[in-house]
Structure 1
Amino acid sequence: MTFDESKISAEKAAETGVQSQPDALTGSAEENKKVFDLLPLLIIERLNKLIESLQAANSAGQIGADAFTNVTGGTVQEQLQSIQKNLEDYRREVKANGAGDVGITPFDGVTANTVQAALEQLQANLVQYINTVKSEEGAGRVGITPFKGVTANTVQLALEEIRRQIDDVTAGIIPDYGVTTIKLALQAVTADRLAQDVLDMIEAAEPARSTNELDDYTMETGCFINAGAGWNTFRFRHAFDGVPVVTVTPKEFNGFCEIKNVTAEGFLYCLRQPSLQGGTVATATGYIGSDTGTSPGHSQITYVSGVTLPTFGTETTAEKVEMDYIAIEFGGDE
């Protein structure tokens, strides 16, 4: 049954209602009661039919509905079918290109807003990190936990620190000027080396000769690799008691090393190279005659009309230059 069949028309209501009967009822009491019950009974009958129609399988096709975004149809049934179709289409698209359609919230290291783009960005980040680790800068990017004798926090700095310690022993640099069997076994102490050390101590003691006393001094030497352009920090293996005198000599480098802010713990350094800065050349156009007469032939030429000479300056460099350094503290306790 359709919903329309459950309707009660005005004519049907008038026909069934009490107003359709004579003003004076002539029937029995029971017959007169039925007259008053005709319309309520009709309403009950049609209401029950309406409920049955609503409970029927096709009832959604008879209930009207307004269309809305991405959903078409003028009944609940049609709109449900439209939603089902949208869902099936979305499932099909997700299977074909799912990661590109699923959104995400960007997070640390990833600025993409879809799963597909995020995966591609993560892969690119991983490849970039692997290539960086494989490159000559890789050891400087891998962190370590400092351990006994090494204060560095990256593999690169730790290797440089260990190398300086090895150089101090194998090259005969003995900060405390003590001679042990280990140093002798490593040939870190020889007669020539000890003689040179004594001469160095005497030369360093000259400022105190007026008091007839030799000043003690502490020395640290070694080498390190330039960490980058601009000002960089270098720390001594062991802090001095006071501020030492420092010299830094780059190896095989067409430039110089500038140092500043020397403290008992270290100093700042910057590698610089000479460079010409600025300078301009201005040109103009002219004509040169190539014949004689009233209308001689001529040709166009470009010539220099003015020159501004460049100025001499320097620029910093990140080149991986190896540098030797010497730090001496005169009058120290060691």
Structure 2
Amino acid sequence: MRLRTPCPATARAWTVELHSRPDGITLICLHCPHDNSRVSPTSARAAALAHLARHARTDLRASHLRICQCHERGCRWHPRHRGCAGPVRLLLARERGGRVWRLADACTACSAATEQAAVVPDTMLASPQRPPDAVHHRRRQTRGPGDRIRVAEMLSYLAAALPHSISAEARLIALQCALRMDSRMRVRLPMGVLRSLRLSTPQPWRELEQARWLRTLHSTRQGEVIAELQDPALLGQSPSRPDRQHAADWALRAGHGARTAGEDTRMQLTSIHLAAHSNPETGRGQAEADRMARECGVEDQDMPDALDRLATIGSLTQWQLCPNTGDVQWSYTAPRD
């Protein structure tokens, strides 16, 4: 038990009062005599607590330099008890029904004896609290390959897994389904996504069902299509579904230029293929012509015309067919996110 010894009071005790006036509520701080601010009734309590917190943050001290302010004032803030004891903590107390708020250092015994009071953790005053819009959330780290590589690998796999007769429309749906499926190999595609791809007709789904690559399920919600994929090899993808969904969104953006120009689905898929196989820094890319045509759902003889159309709308600055290797080389200029 500590006995009271005379010593000058320190400044680690602050009090604010809320005075009701005809024109509103005035916040009065006994330590800031020239700072009487008007506050609204709904924000009066928050303003009082914020004002006290500012005082405490401007007078941070080590624990061995703090003393019980209640003891310094004769312990008149609470009923009598056996004396001060325990570590000194920062105590927030309310009096007169919330019209007076006090923040002061108090020992453990005085804190426990004070009514309508709570101990403020020291960690809350270590740094100023940021407003909600200023809080920076830690960005989730991507697992596995990036969006381009994911899309390029999936296009290559679908070219081998799906029959050659599958249309570009069905391949575009298969790409979105494969990247968005969950652990049960099910996927929900909103009709808004399908309309943005201009794939609101049921024919591409029938093609994939006939190929036994997926089967559509009955949905209890309007505005979405639910499908269950039938290809177990898709479970070998990276298990991070958020990253796969991010890659699916990237594919939507990669085909946006062709959709805006009014091109058909084959041009969308070709634009996605070019973006996925282009260098993100230079925009240059190269691929085998026959493999490129198969992944894009385009006949070999129609591939030059498709590349010319993409060059016309500005997705390509130039392209050429290398006569020695049979590879297509291009410079991709569409926006790359």
- Fold shared by both chains (TM-score > 0.5): no
Q: TM-score, normalised by structure 2?
A: 0.21
The structure with more radius of gyration: 1
